[in-house]
């Protein structure tokens, strides 16, 4: 094998691919742009069905940031159930509105929650921690 190619591969940083699931345009843009600037590879989904399509299309996703409502809105809870079924080892950071339901959902292995409104740097650090734990 070409030693240069081998070297390049071995020093290549981890892709740190995050799937951001957020239905609000401004919020999705803000967090996605921040994460790209800090070195993440970001895939943006506006709802659960888009997120599932992205997971099927790109199996190399390292972590999910799920900011769609788990108690209200566009089926965040169903989405988390499907992710747990299809990719049980895929870590998920849930942006929580502080409800009891969110605490229960986050209280499983490979999951964590972050309270809304979240601070970007906290999201970044929590995502890195979830990836590193994997």
Partner 1 sequence: MTKSEIQQCILVLEPEILIRMVLAQYLRECGYTVIEGVQAADFHTLIDSGRELHVVLADVKLSGEMTGFELSRGIRQTHPNIDVILTSGVAGAVAEVHDLCHDGPIKKPYHPKDVESRIRILLERRRNSQHSKE
- Site stretch for partner 1 (CB under 8 A), options 4-12, 45-53, 65-73, 116-124: 45-53
Q: What Rg do the C-alpha atoms of the chain give, in angstroms?
A: 15
What's the closest the beta carbon of residue 32 comes to partner 1, in angstroms? 8
H runs (alpha helix) in the chain: 3-11, 25-37, 48-57, 76-86, 100-106, 120-133
Report the C-alpha gap between 67 and 47 in whole angstroms. Answer: 9
What's the closest the beta carbon of residue 95 comes to partner 1, in angstroms? 18
What's the closest the beta carbon of residue 79 comes to partner 1, in angstroms? 14
Query: Could you say whether residue 46 binds partner 1 (CB under 8 A)?
Result: yes
Report the C-alpha gap between 46 and 49 in whole angstroms. Answer: 8
Q: Work out the number of other CB atoms within 10 angstroms of the CB of residue 90.
A: 19
Query: Could you say whether residue 15 binds partner 1 (CB under 8 A)?
Result: no
Query: Could you say whether residue 112 binds partner 1 (CB under 8 A)?
Result: no
Query: Could you say whether residue 53 binds partner 1 (CB under 8 A)?
Result: yes
Query: Could you say whether residue 28 binds partner 1 (CB under 8 A)?
Result: yes
Q: What tokens appear for 34 in the block?
A: 């921040």
Judged by the rule CB under 8 A, the positions of this chain that interact with partner 1 are: 25-26, 28-29, 32-33, 36, 43-46, 50, 53-54, 57-58
């Amino acid at each position: 094998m070409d030693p240069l190619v081998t070297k390049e591969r071995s020093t290549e940083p981890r892709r740190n691919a995050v799937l951001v699931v957020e239905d609000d345009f401004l919020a999705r843009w803000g967090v996605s742009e921040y994460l790209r600037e800090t070195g993440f590879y970001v895939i943006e989904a506006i709802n659960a069905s888009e997120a599932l399509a992205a997971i099927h299309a790109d199996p190399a996703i390292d972590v999910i940031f799920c900011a769609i409502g788990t108690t209200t809105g566009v089926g965040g809870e169903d989405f988390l159930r499907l992710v747990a079924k299809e990719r049980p080892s895929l870590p998920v950071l849930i942006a929580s509105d502080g409800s009891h339901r969110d605490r229960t959902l986050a209280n499983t292995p490979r999951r964590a929650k972050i309270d809304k409104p979240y601070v970007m740097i906290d999201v970044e650090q929590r995502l890195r921690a979830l990836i590193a734990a994997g």
